[in-house]
């Protein structure tokens, strides 16, 4: 059986970019059980309530929902269990220093396979206020309307 190559996205958290100002993005490996990998290969996961925390000098991914594997037996995993992130000590120390700042959190942006291994894209982010969200939405709508008007004008000429 040939090995997978390239990047295959399993799940993405599009709402995270709406709710947070993303300051920095990192990639980390995830320590998983066999049934979790099989469920991910079926393309099933949700990052909506996910976040990463620092506990005991290690980074943990929490709140990510990977549903139980359908053909799994008693070896099945708990869908929302804590999962250890695979990072180098220097990276963990760097994150720890930044997380001491108030208002910063670590949110998962995407979960994907890279050459057969599960990776998660993590963002160091600061929460947006409600007016920031409305402002970003308004800017996006204005840009779309301007592009639409320009394309209509080009089509008439």
Total Cβ atoms within 10 A of residue 61: 24
List 22's β-bridge partners, or say none.
125
- Is residue 112 a contact partner of residue 122, using CB atoms and an 8 Å limit? no
Q: Is the pTM of this model over 0.85?
A: no
List 54's β-bridge partners, or say none.
59
Dihedral through CA 134, CA 135, CA 136, CA 137, nearest 10?
50
- Is residue 32 a contact partner of residue 117, using CB atoms and an 8 Å limit? no
pLDDT mean over 92-106: 82
Architecture of domain 7-128: Beta Barrel (2.40)
How crowded is the C-beta side of 44, counted as CA atoms within 13 Å?
13
Domain parsing of the chain, residue ranges: 7-128
- Is residue 64 a contact partner of residue 80, using CB atoms and an 8 Å limit? yes
Which residue is it, tokens 């059986």?
Answer: 1
| pLDDT for position 72 | 63
Give me the phi and psi of 70, to 5 degrees please: -60, -45
| pLDDT for position 74 | 64
pLDDT in tens, 31-77: 887 777 777 787 778 788 888 888 888 889 888 887 777 666 666 66
């Amino acid at each position: 059986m040939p090995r997978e190559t390239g990047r295959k996205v399993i799940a993405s958290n599009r709402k995270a970019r709406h709710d947070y100002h993303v300051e920095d993005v990192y990639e980390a490996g995830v320590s998983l059980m066999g049934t979790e990998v099989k469920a991910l290969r079926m393309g099933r996961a949700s990052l909506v309530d996910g976040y990463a925390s620092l506990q005991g000098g290690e980074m943990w991914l929490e709140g990510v929902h990977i549903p139980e594997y359908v053909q799994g037996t008693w070896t099945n995993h708990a869908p929302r269990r804590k999962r250890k992130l695979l990072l180098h000590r220097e990276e963990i120390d760097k994150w720890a220093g930044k997380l001491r700042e108030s208002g910063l959190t670590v949110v998962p942006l995407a979960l994907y396979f890279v050459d057969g291994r599960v990776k998660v894209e993590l963002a160091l982010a600061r929460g947006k206020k409600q007016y920031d969200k409305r402002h970003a939405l308004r800017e996006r709508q204005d840009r779309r309307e301007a592009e639409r008007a320009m394309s209509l004008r080009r089509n008439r000429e």
